[in-house]
Amino acid sequence: MPSADHRFGPQNLNAPAGVVTREPKDRSPEHAEPTGFLPHVQGLRAIAVLCVVLYHFWPGRFPGGYVGVDVFFVISGFLITAHLMRELTATGTVRLGQFWARRARRLLPASLLVLLVCALVAGSAYLTPTSALPAEVREIIASTFYVQNWYLALTSADYLNNAGDPTTVQHYWTLSLEEQFYLLWPLLLLLAAWIGVRWFRGARRRAVLVAIGIVTLVSFAFNVWLTLTDPAPAYFVTFGRMWQFGVGALIALVPLLRIRNAAASFVLGWAGILALAVVTFRFDAQTPFPGYMAAIPTLAAAAVIAASRTERWWYPTRVLSIRPAQFVGDISYSLYLWHWPLIVIAPSVPFWGLTIWHRLALLALCFVLAWLTKRFVEDPVRSWKVLTSRPPRVTLWASLVAMVLVAATAGGAWAVNAPAYRDGIQAIEQLRADPPECFGAAAALDPGCAEADFGAQILPAPGFAGVDRPEDAQCFVQLNDARPVSCEFGSDAADAPRVALVGDSHAYQLLPTFQRLADERGWHLTTWFKGACPWNDTPLSTPGAFGAACTDWRAGVESAMADADLDVVFTAALATTPYSSAGYPTAQDAAVAGYREAWGRMLDRDVPVITVVDNPVWPTDPNKCLRTRDVAECDAPRADVLVAEDPLRDAAQGLDGVTLIDATDAFCDDEVCWPVVGGANIYRDQDHLTVTFADSLAPQYAAAIEEALGARAP
């Protein structure tokens, strides 16, 4: 997140030992930093923000662009530590009120403006799906008070693999983390300086360096450990990121780390830029991040900062100092703030399409809004005399009032829309309990429903499909959780048929439907679910802890299933799951073999297996289109959304004891796939079914299970 000031005077940091540099007495310590300026750091800020923005606009082309935030952390550590140390050296202390007030005037005006816009958008049912409103309001409030990173960590959000709709303020986690850095870092420096004066003969600077070095090393070790054991919160936890600020701080405080040699500066600077380019294109959602891999962009950013020679035009420091790079660096903070809300909101605008030209136009709009915000909000408020001419507490109290007003606006958005939200929940419950005749899949699969016409009806409504999901989250483990958690539903009778439902989120999406079938038909239902981890013996191609957790979960489930008295096993899985080739010619062959091996253990016990061809996977949530366009405009070419080689289909073909349900005709014809069938809204996001539509497929599931149970009966 681009936030730190870019003023930096290297001459002060290079003063000989024992020489104290002081500012004129008519200047407050808040302005103690010299007027020196490092243009290449501002140019590095431009690289960082472009990485993030391009990643969010085109994640497939710039899959590692998320490393831009790591670059921002290094820059902030460098600049803020330099400023604090200059004041500490000149005055023996840091005036915390002045420092925090200055940070507030620098960051809050633009930040709160964007949050206010997001709160107003959240209150508009036209621009925000009603189903998304609770999460939107909670995250706006968390972002307003700069705890968004902790909110995401505690709710186990997965920033790189978030299957649900992200909020307009999800990106504020970086601002929250940086604000916490601005709160804690000067306290750390003051404590270290006090220890140096009190116990180490006044070695204030040495004590600060030792403290920062210890924090950096411990934070890095903690980051690596947490990424391996619990990667979702590791992305957001404050102390797991402190080492990146620490790296920048060490560059600022250790003169030997700022390279003066011309050749070394040239090589180091370009090596850093090249490394950032490589990771932007080579890293992706499967990279174990932040973890030890975050050291690459972090050290690359540090290398660019350290390369300080600027004499020749071909030096990286000179290239980063050209006017376009400086312009992007100047507006980087506002550009970061605006780009993500616009990306989230744009699909809900009726006249806005999803073509490359619309994306380019939206990108241009981001730059325009960023420049306007910098020109008319950031700069004026930063030097607003009504605040700068008064004690720091005036700025801090004014900031708190502004934050409360933004939070109240978000709360008002919920108050206005809460009745509609409650009505939507009630409507879904009524629809599940009493669906219309020929509703949903029946309209496509039942010959008796060929003439059914539901007109423009879409149930649940596109703005509310997101909440039409399973509710038993305790039965669904995710990420690095390898526990073979099972849940029991249905009949407890000793002679009840025992049905198992096992697989990834595409099996979990069927849970409410199977719960109802178990209750109606007297089955005993046992479930095992893990996100992105199908019931298959072939390892995933996903590296690191997640792939290992999937393997461990499968072993635990196999052990549990071996001990269970089962009559039939039903499984489903995402067709696009990335598998290792595992010694086979292709990953597809390995996946097919893995399914057959896993199923074979059940078949050897004379337990039949039922599976289903996966549903289409859309590039984005079809509800974004349905909310603003006619249903016919939201169809997708079959070849674009339906996987041609589903390993589940291939594994089931010709295998005795395995039943394959192929309901593709309920989703697609020969040319296109639909988001709505028989008045039913099929999807709650880009690839998961609404419970309402899954219920309409219940006759197919029930028939297959009853047939398998009948064939097994003595």
Residue 59 lies in a domain: yes
DSSP state of 500: E
Helix or strand or coil: residue 110? helix
Domain end, chosen from 308, 331, 348, is at: 348
Residue 697 CB coordination number (10 Å): 21
Residues of the chain short of pLDDT 50, as ranges, are 4-35, 160-163
Contact in structure between 302 and 248 (CB atoms under 8 Å): yes
Last residue of one domain, picked from the residues 284, 317, 348: 348
Q: Is 145 domain-assigned?
A: yes
Question: For 538-589, what is the HEC assignment?
Answer: CCECCCHHHHHHHHHHHHHHHHHHHHCCCCEEEEECCCCCCECCCCCCCHHH
CA 207 remoteness from chain centre:
38
Residues 335 and 450 in one domain: no
Within this chain, do residues 459 and 313 fall inside the same structural domain, yes or no? no
How many CB atoms sit inside 10 A of residue 271's CB? 16
Are residues 632 and 486 part of one domain? yes
Residue with tokens 């039939």: 568
C-alpha to C-alpha distance for 189 and 181, rounded to whole angstroms: 12
Same domain? For 451 and 320 the reply is no
CA 684 to chain centre: 18
One domain for residues 682 and 550: yes
| Cα torsion 9, 12, 13, 14: sign | positive
- Structural domain includes residue 119: no
Q: What is the pLDDT of residue 2?
A: 58
* Cβ-contact 505, 529 below 8 angstroms: yes
Task: Determine the Cα–Cα distance for residues 569 and 608; give it in Å rounded to an integer.
Answer: 6
Lookup: tokens for 127: 């621009």
705 and 595: one domain?
A: yes
**Structural domain contains residue 485:** yes
Q: Tell me how far apart the alpha carbons of residues 687 and 505 are, in angstroms, rounded to a whole number.
A: 10
Q: Which residue has the tokens 């930040």?
A: 111
Residue 317: the pLDDT is 87
Nearest C-alpha neighbor of 374 from the set 407, 343, 336: 336
392's tokens: 């720091």
Tell me: do 448 and 333 sit in the same domain. Answer: no
Q: Is residue 419 part of a domain?
A: no
Strand-pair category, 486-490 with 524-530: antiparallel
| Cβ contact 340:170 at 8 Å | yes
Count up the domains in the chain and report the number.
2
One-letter amino acid of 678:
G
Classify residue 572 by its DSSP letter. E
pLDDT score for 481:
83
Count of C-beta atoms within a 10 Å radius of residue 228: 17
Q: In this structure, are residues 692 and 474 in contact, taking their beta carbons and an 8 Å threshold? A: no
Where residue 331 falls (left for φ over 0; alpha for ψ -120 to 50; beta otherwise) is alpha
Q: Which domain holds residue 555?
A: 441-711
Are 113 and 341 in contact, with CB atoms under 8 Å apart?
no
Residue 15 lies in a domain: no
The SS3 assignment for 299 reads helix
What pLDDT does residue 156 have?
66
Radius of gyration for the alpha carbons in the chain, expressed in angstroms and rounded = 29
Residues 553 and 670 in one domain: yes
Choose one of 326, 348, 370: the last residue of a domain.
348
Bridge partner residues of 540 (DSSP): 579
Contact present, 628 and 348 (Cβ < 8 Å): yes
Say if residue 88 is in the same domain as residue 217. Answer: yes
Cα distances from 138 to residues 91, 145, 293, 408, 714, in angstroms, run 42, 11, 31, 12, 56
Tell me, yes or no, whether 29 lies in a domain: no
Please give the helix or strand (H or E) that residue 637 lies within, else none: strand 636-637
Query: Other C-beta atoms within 10 Å of 75: how many?
Result: 30
pLDDT (0 to 100) of residue 355: 78
Q: What are 683's strand-pairing partners? A: 689
CATH number at 614 reads 3.40.50.1110
Task: Supply the pLDDT for residue 5.
Answer: 43
- Taking Cα atoms as reference points, which of 507, 498, 500 lies closest to residue 476? 507
Query: Under 8 Å CB-to-CB from 645, ≥6 apart: which residues?
Result: 588
Q: How far apart are CA 415 and CA 407, in angstroms?
A: 12
Say if 283 falls within a structural domain.
Answer: yes
Helix (H) or strand (E) holding 273: helix 262-282
First to last CA, the chain: 66
